[in-house]
Amino acid sequence: MRVIAARPYEFALEPRAAALLIIDMQRDFLEPGGFGAALGNDVSLLRSAIAPIAAVLTACRAAGMLVVHTREGHRPDLSDLTEAKHRRGRFTARIGDSGPMGRILVRGEAGHGIIAELSPAENEPVIDKPGKGAFYATDLEAILRGKGITQLIVAGVTTEVCVHTTVREANDRGFECLVLEDGTASYFPKFHEAALNMVCAQDGIFGWVAPAGAVVAALQQGES
C-alpha cells in the first residue's frame, strides 16, 4: 500500500488494484483546428496538464500498474452520434465536418489521435467512447473488473466535462477515484477549480484530489 497526500484526506493506493485512466488527451481538444477550437475555446489552456500526466504515467508504468487511455469520437458514418449532440451549439464547424486535422471528432482522423507526448504503449487499452463518460457505451468496466481494478487515478481533459462525468460514473460503480489536480485542465479555469472542489467536498463525496507530485512520490517511496 502507498499513502498519497490528498484532499480531503490521505489516499491508500494499492498499485495492484489501481489503474491510471487518462481521459481524452486528443489533438481535437488540445490543438488548434479541432473540436475544442470549433467550440470557440482557447485550446492552449489545456496544455498545463501534459507534463504532470507524463510524470504520473512514467511512475505508474514503472510500478507495473494498468494504464488505460480514452478518446472521445464517433464512427465515420456518425451512426453513434446522437442527433442532440450533433445539433448542439451555434458554431459553424460541427462533429464530422472537415477541418485542418481531418473530420472533427471522428475515429481514425488525425485530430482524434492522442497527443504524441502521451502516446499509449502497445499493451495499454485505448477506449473509444461516443459520450462524455468513459463508462457509457464502452467496455471499460469489463476491462477494469477483469483485471481486479478497484481504484482509479484519473487525469485528462476537460476537468468539468469528461473527467467529471467519468468520475461520477466510476464512483457509482464502486471504484475509488483520485483526480490529478494539475493533470486535469479546463478551457474555464474557474470550472476546473470548482470541479476539483466538488470531487473532494463533503469528505470525498466523489473521491480524492492530489497533485501529480504526491502520486509520483508515493509510487517511488515503496511499500508501507
Residues in region 156-215 near ligand C5J by CB under 6 A = 157-158, 161-162
Residues in region 15-54 near ligand C5J by CB under 6 A = 24, 29
Stretch near ligand C5J under the rule CB under 6 A, chosen from 52-60, 79-87, 155-163, 198-206: 155-163
* # binding residues, ligand C5J (CB under 6 A): 8
Amino acid identity of residue 117, one-letter, is E
Shortest Å, Cβ 166 to ligand C5J: 9
For residues 68 to 97, the per-residue mask of contacts with ligand C5J, x marking binding by CB under 6 A and - elsewhere, is ----x-------------------------
Shortest Å, Cβ 24 to ligand C5J: 4
- Catalytic positions are 24, 129, 162
Does 149 interact with ligand C5J (rule: CB under 6 A)? no
Shortest Å, Cβ 157 to ligand C5J: 5
**Maximum C-alpha span of the chain:** 55
Main-chain dihedrals φ then ψ at residue 151, nearest 5 degrees: -125, 145
C-alpha cell at 79: 451512426
- Binding residues for ligand C5J (CB under 6 A): 24, 29, 72, 132, 157-158, 161-162
